[in-house]
Amino acid sequence: MKDPLSVCTYNLLYQDLKRLSKNGEYFCKEILTVFQQRSDLEINYSKGLQKIASKLLKVSKEMCDNSSCRAWSFISDEMFSSADAHRILGNALNQDAIQEMRQILDEHSKRKRPLDNAIQKSGKLVLTNWNEQIKLKKKLMGLTREHEALFDFVEKNKHICTEKEKQKMFNRLTKSAELQARVDEEYFNVNMDGHHIRLKLENTLKTCHQIVLDLEKQRIETLSNTLEKYSLCINVYAQSIINSQSQIEQSVKEMDVETDIQSLMENINTQADDNRAEFLMTDYFEEEGKTIMSKDRRKDAIRTKLQRLQDNITKTKSDREGLEKMVKVYTEQPNFSNQKNLEETEQLLEEAVLKLDLLEATHCKLSVGLSELEGKPKPRHRFSDSITKWKDKASLVVTASIKII
């Protein structure tokens, strides 16, 4: 069975971004380990240097009091100064570089943890609704097929049956029609729910994608800041490793935060060219070319469904217009509302626009079927080329879906 999440562009982008983020997190952890070891080495070296400096100072004072011994005491002072430099360097690395990076890693870990849970929860709802639509469609197809067979049987045999038998058959036909109508309404409602659920998944993916993207930008900036602080520590406190300073300064010069962020954005956006979501459309028994249902009954059934769609289109247009007015008021009069209300209203407007597109596309698809039955030219719609049909191998049932940008 087709996986609705396998063609979700934002899901693919989010998974790619997660892989990049995981690599960046691993790199930061390795840098953190190296800096921690370097800090420990500098502090331990400082302690060792202080110990031998004390020994040298002691022996130089105890053994003699000539210029040579005083010279050695000056050397011990240099050792003490060098020990202080290494101690300050170790503490500076720990405070300025290690703590900030550890804090960023802990913060990112906490912020990323609920994202996958939210996406997994929304994805399960999409899959459940998708499977429910397929299940209800198969059920509706079967009920319609059975109803039409029963209707055909009644039509062919009512003239040779007694009144009691006729009444019995008509009762069966009435119950069959009622059951078919209930399942048809349930199928339609589940399909409408599916649009809303899929939109929630898309919005969840967009939000999570943006959060991780912002965290990655912050990580790159933190790495740049850490490298600059490391350079400063070396310049100020680590005179003993001055020979390596040119290499570190060169590394700092080569760091370009804007270029790294731009590279990240280009990597993430490579798959965003076809940012389209696929939705399952209502697909009815009456639309099939090979069916036992008569043309007139197929026409009547399709007209009924078209009227229901038109009613929904009218209502959705009204909702959209109301939301557009609210957005306009919020935008032109900022004191009338806050940013959160504006963002929520804009999101509701996006959902209304997409829902209207889906309803109009479905209306077009049914209108095409009706035109074919009536022998009229097929109507064109802006989504005509976006509607595709595919066959479920398990039941050989043809299903329609549409991709909307």
The DSSP secondary structure of 140-156, one letter per residue, reads HHHHHHHHHHHHHHHHH
- The conformation of residue 95, written as its DSSP 8-state character, comes to I
pLDDT for 82 beyond 60: yes
E strands, 204-328, where?
277-280
pLDDT for 2 beyond 70: no
pLDDT for 124 beyond 80: yes
Question: What's the whole-number mean pLDDT along residues 361-383?
Answer: 82
pLDDT for 272 beyond 60: no
Question: What's the whole-number mean pLDDT along residues 65-88?
Answer: 67
Query: Of 205, 226, 207, which Cα lies nearest the Cα of 27?
Result: 226
Query: Of 405, 362, 399, which Cα lies nearest the Cα of 384?
Result: 362
CA-CA distances (angstroms) from residue 380 to 11, 358, 399?
32, 15, 20
pLDDT for 175 beyond 70: yes
Q: Which long-range contacts (CB under 8 A, 24 or more apart) does 331-335 make?
A: none
CA-CA-CA-CA torsion for 161, 167, 171, 174, nearest 10 degrees? 80
Cα–Cα–Cα angle for 35, 40, 41, nearest 5°? Answer: 95
Contacts of 347 (CB under 8 A, 6+ apart): 203
